[in-house]
Chain A
């Protein structure tokens, strides 16, 4: 079962998968785990901790660049994606672990199946967090971690639609931030910081960290974002919440 937004994003990603992977393959396909728009190394951000021997679910795995690297570190990975075409890329990349076609709004796993559920600009950006977070809380084991990276609320409100980039002006309202339909047809989600905390707490998760990564001066990206802006204001946020 999935919502109409999940359907829209499925169509979008099935159409976009080939060109997305071709455009970003080298940037996001490097041989160590890295986060987000600027591909900041996990070894510096230290978000996930030791994954060896852990049951790990990636929400919106795309071509499974992340999970392939975590599997090599000894994690028992499962990659979930809403787009079958994205999963074709994961299979082509040699993902040797289960790849599941489905929306993160409704996870086809029993309660308490995972030690770590994570995504990097994945399902938490493309499915309604009000639906995804309860599902994650359900499939996490006690002591398990939810960690995800997405574009910040800051970037959302400073986005100039006409110019198609961020600037130093507050364009959009912060209150009510939730869902945005892009001109390309894809549907994106983000919440005010306080709403995230409320959502975690309501689902029994403890807020462990909010990392607002600042890219270094020489950071590069294939995603077209403005480095000068991202050096001044948080373009991305990485949340960590743990099930007690």
Chain B
């Protein structure tokens, strides 16, 4: 597998981050039900996921695979895909610890070695959805889904990205970057990791160009009493009560 430069950079960065995520992995694996984002909003409030029981589900950029574990508990047949071996090692350790098995595959979500039309649902939360090039991973998700299949993914909202100073400080209330042309965002201090974020219109056009119908955009408001994220670059709960820090897209492959 020949990875493009941004995927190599992100794998290197996530190899560094992996030990920190390994420590916290049991918390995500022990969680009841599916929650979304740094505020842990339950899917039962957001209604982002379709019914996954008995469905073939792929998680694109699964990391420690806590979402894949939750989806498995809901009765889905899940495959977790991640490009970083160190993250998959944690996922395997969690599988053993929690007695929950499902296939884990080392691959970039931009180039998944699985056949066309293998899945009913593709999910990504802070996985491929922000660490892969959307012009590569969304076509790949379209290829992997069956007709009528659903794509559900969480990203940071454009407003939060445009207000982010990218120096470990949280976003303030000033726009620091342009919306037009927004695409890749680099974290110079964090092992050269690179994120991808599109504006709303560009993302809608990309989904449509790949045969998806846009079903929903759920802009997540931090719940009252939300605790500050442990990620120093995330907005405060007060910020995220006023403006969206995260959003979930749901799209359906035509057919």
- The answer to whether B204 touches A207 (Cβ under 8 A) is yes
Q: Which residues of B contact A154 (CB under 8 A)?
A: 179
Stretch at the interface among A17-25, A103-111, A194-202, A219-227: A194-202
Q: Which residues of B contact A233 (CB under 8 A)?
A: 162, 175, 178-180
- The answer to whether A170 touches B243 (Cβ under 8 A) is yes
Q: How far is the CA of A158 from the CA of B174 in the complex (A)?
A: 9
Question: Which of B180, B219, B243 touches A214 (beta carbons < 8 Å)?
Answer: B180
Interface residues on B, range: 20 to 34
Q: How far is the CA of A174 from the CA of B162 in the complex (A)?
A: 14
Binary per-residue interface labels of chain B (160-204) against chain A in the complex, 1 for a CB within 8 Å, 0 otherwise: 001100000000011110111000000000000000000111001
- Across the A-B interface, how many residue pairs have beta carbons closer than 8 Å? 81
- On whether A170 and B244 interact (CB within 8 A), knowing A209-B208, A212-B200, the answer reads no
Majority DSSP secondary structure for residues of B touching A: mixed
- On whether A206 and B213 interact (CB within 8 A), knowing A169-B173, A175-B241, A233-B175, the answer reads yes
Q: Which residues of B contact A174 (CB under 8 A)?
A: 159, 219, 242-244
- On whether A192 and B219 interact (CB within 8 A), knowing A158-B175, A169-B174, A209-B208, the answer reads yes
- The answer to whether A212 touches B217 (Cβ under 8 A) is no
Query: Within 8 Å of chain B (Cβ to Cβ): is A168?
Result: yes
Q: How far is the CA of A217 from the CA of B241 in the complex (A)?
A: 36
Could you tell me how many residues of chain A have their Cβ less than 8 Å away from some Cβ of chain B? Answer: 28
Query: Within 8 Å of chain B (Cβ to Cβ): is A173?
Result: yes
Q: How far is the CA of A170 from the CA of B242 in the complex (A)?
A: 10
* CB-nearest residue of chain A to B171: A170
* CB-nearest residue of chain B to A234: B179
* CB-nearest residue of chain B to A157: B243
Binary per-residue interface labels of chain B (100-126) against chain A in the complex, 1 for a CB within 8 Å, 0 otherwise: 000000000000000000000000000
Query: Quick one: which of A200-240 are within 8 Å of B by CB?
Result: 201, 206-212, 214, 231-234, 237
Query: Quick one: which of B38-62 are within 8 Å of A by CB?
Result: none
Query: Within 8 Å of chain A (Cβ to Cβ): is B31?
Result: no
Min C-beta distance of A160 to chain B, whole Å: 12
Query: Within 8 Å of chain A (Cβ to Cβ): is B221?
Result: yes
Min C-beta distance of A201 to chain B, whole Å: 7
Q: Which residues of B contact A51 (CB under 8 A)?
A: none
Where the two chains meet, the residues of A that have a C-beta atom closer than 8 Å to any C-beta of B are 154, 157-158, 168-170, 173-175, 192-194, 197-198, 201, 206-212, 214, 231-234, 237
Where the two chains meet, the residues of B that have a C-beta atom closer than 8 Å to any C-beta of A are 159, 162-163, 173-176, 178-180, 199-201, 204-205, 208, 213-219, 221, 241-244, 247
Known: A170-B243, A198-B217, A210-B204. 13 other contacts (CB 8 A): A169-B175, A170-B159, A170-B173, A174-B242, A201-B215, A209-B208, A210-B201, A212-B199, A212-B201, A232-B179, A232-B180, A233-B162, A234-B180
